[in-house]
């Protein structure tokens, strides 16, 4: 057990050591026994530092807060809001729905569906909304 522990540089805990010992020796040691023995000879797994899986970024352009959490409008086409929603379908396929909502009566002014979540989808939705209200 000590040899195997050193062979993997101490990164395995009692569960992995039990699994690998049972596999290599064709035995069936209980994990509680391995845990107890490792505790007696003071073997512990080394907890590796987690890898950073994201990159912090700052927005390139921040728009002024015009609505200021006032989500009502006194007349039609005064305030529009937009959102993009992701739908998963089939085997690993995604569709994106971009919609523009009028805050006066909470009606959908325009919407567009695409397979990529990019600016072109939002611009297409805005063009449809402007065309419908002109």
Cα-based distances in Å from 47 to 10, 11, 17, 44, 62: 9, 7, 15, 9, 40
- The single residue listed with the structure tokens 């057990």 is 1
**Residue 112: its pLDDT value, please?**
96
**Residue 121: its pLDDT value, please?**
95
Please tell me the pTM assigned to this model. Answer: 0.55
Domain boundaries, the chain: 1-57, 80-132
Q: For 100, phi and psi rounded to 5 degrees?
A: -115, 125
Across the chain, mean pLDDT equals 91
- Interval 37-63: pLDDT, tens: 999 999 988 887 888 888 888 888 888
Helix (H, G, I), strand (E, B) or coil at 38: helix
Distance CA 95, CA 81 (A): 20
**Residue 100: its pLDDT value, please?**
96
Distance CA 28, CA 67 (A): 66
Residue 134 pLDDT exceeds 90: no
Interhelix angle 14-25/31-40, rounded to 10 degrees, is 120
- Interval 86-128: pLDDT, tens: 999 989 899 999 999 999 999 999 999 999 999 999 999 999 9
Q: Are 124 and 103 in contact (CB under 8 A)?
A: no
| Apex 28 CA angle, 45 and 21, nearest 5 | 40
């Amino acid at each position: 057990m000590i040899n195997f522990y050193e062979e993997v540089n101490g990164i395995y805990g009692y569960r992995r050591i039990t699994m690998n010992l049972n596999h290599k020796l064709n035995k069936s040691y209980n994990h509680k026994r391995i845990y107890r023995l490792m505790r007696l000879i003071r073997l512990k797994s080394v907890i590796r530092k987690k890898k950073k899986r994201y990159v912090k970024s700052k927005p390139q352009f921040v728009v002024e807060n015009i609505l200021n959490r006032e989500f009502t409008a006194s007349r039609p086409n005064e305030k529009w809001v937009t959102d993009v929603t992701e739908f998963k379908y089939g085997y690993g396929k995604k569709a994106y729905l971009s919609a523009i909502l009028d805050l006066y009566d909470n009606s959908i002014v325009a919407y567009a569906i695409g397979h990529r979540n990019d600016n072109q989808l939002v611009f297409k939705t805005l063009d449809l909304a402007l065309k419908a209200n002109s």
